[in-house]
Amino acid sequence: MDKNFGYELQLPHCRIQLSSDVMTQRIGNEMVLVHLKTNRIYDLNVTAARLWELMSVEDTLSKIQGQMLEEFEVDEKVLHSEVQKTLAAMKKEGLLIFHD
């Protein structure tokens, strides 16, 4: 379990749904998310922006991580850990819905 957020996504079966309450706008290499119910604004860096984009087209976390491994020069274990932390934070903020 992720000790920071108390949630561990189970690979490869976890499906991710973007919240319909979130609007997105790409600005250069970054992405801005606006949660319409909370009026909170989130600024995603290049990597998190790509993760968000992949979540809109891929249906499982394993496919998303596989694509990111192809696109970014990163160790698989490091990627897994960072994706877990990012997704747990997004879930906590109500930006995502997970389906096991």
In this predicted structure, the answer to whether residue 5 has a pLDDT above a threshold of 60 is: no
Asked whether the CA dihedral 23, 17, 42, 28 is positive or negative, the reply is: negative
CA–CA gap between residue 50 and residue 97 (Å, rounded): 18
pTM for the predicted model, two decimal places: 0.84
Residue ranges of domains in the chain: 15-95
pLDDT at 97: 87
pLDDT at 2: 37
pLDDT band of 9, cuts 50, 70, 90? low
